[in-house]
Amino acid sequence: MLIPITITEKAEAEIKNIMANKNIPTDYFLRVGVKGGGCGGMSYKLGFDKPKEEDQQFDIGGIPVLIEKKHYMFLMGMQIDFFESDEARGFTFVNPDIPKRHDQ
């Protein structure tokens, strides 16, 4: 099965750092998903969890990843990135197929 998402090097390094230093159990995976609807559209979720029957499992850059089957089509083509600035830091989901507007 085609891997629906990519993870940038910065995000990969931060995920591995979290897994190593935040007492994440070794049998947990990175869970990537979506939270539905509303006026703002879809929002994306990251967390750590054990596999469930309805999950698809992937290895992305040495990171064990879970995606619920019903979320697969909403994540297709997404890229997970990590940013750090003086004001904030965190993970972002980017669809590289959608050009950025000039006012962003």
Specify the pLDDT at position 64: 97
Specify the pLDDT at position 101: 53
- What does the DSSP 8-state code read for residue 18? H
10, with CB counted inside 10 A (0-12, 13-18, 19+), is middle
Asked if the model's pLDDT at residue 58 lies above 50, the reply is yes
Residue 52 has which token pair?
A: 């469930």
Among left, alpha and beta (phi > 0; psi -120 to 50; other), residue 15 is alpha
Count of CB atoms situated within 10 Å of the CB of 34: 20
CATH superfamily of 6-22+29-94: HesB-like domain (2.60.300.12)
> pLDDT digits over 64-103, tens only?
999 999 999 999 999 999 999 999 999 999 987 766 554 4
